[in-house]
A = this chain, B = another copy of it.
Amino acid sequence: MRVITTIEEMQNTISHAKQDGQSIGYVPTMGFLHEGHLTLMEKAREENDIVVISIFVNPLQFGPTEDLSSYPRDFERDKELAEKKMVDYIFYPSVEEMYPHPSSITIKVNERTDVLCGKSRPGHFDGVATVLTKLFHIVQPERAYFGTKDAQQVAVVEGLVNDFHFPIEIIPVETVREMDGLAKSSRNVNLLPNEREQAPILYQSLLRAKEMILEGERNPQTVITFITEMIAENTDGKIDYIEAYSYPMLEEMTKLNGKFIIAMAVKFSKARLIDNIILEINEK
Partner-B contacts on A (CB < 8 A): 7, 11, 14-15, 18-19, 21, 103-112, 129, 133-134, 137-138, 140, 159-160, 163-167
Contact = CB atoms under 8 A, between A and B. Distances in A.
Contacts of A110: 103-106
26 contacts: A7-B165, A11-B165, A14-B167, A19-B21, A103-B110, A103-B163, A104-B109, A104-B111, A104-B112, A104-B159, A104-B163, A105-B107, A105-B108, A105-B110, A105-B111, A105-B159, A106-B108, A107-B107, A107-B108, A134-B165, A137-B164, A137-B165, A137-B167, A138-B165, A138-B167, A140-B167
A136 to B, nearest CB: 9
Interface pairs A-B: 7 shortest CB-CB: A104-B111, A137-B165, A104-B159, A103-B163, A106-B108, A105-B163, A137-B166
A104 B111 CA distance: 5
A164 B109 contact: no
Q: Which of A15, A18, A134, A165 has the most CB of B within 10 A?
A: A165
Contacts of A165: 7, 11, 134, 137-138
Copy count, this protein chain = 2
A133 B7 contact: no
B107 A106 contact: yes
Given A19-B21, A103-B163, A107-B107, 8 more contacts: A11-B167, A21-B21, A104-B109, A104-B111, A104-B112, A106-B108, A107-B108, A138-B167
Contact of A134 (B108, B133, B164): B164
B133 A164 contact: yes
Nearest to A19: B21
Contact of A108 (B108, B109, B129, B138): B108
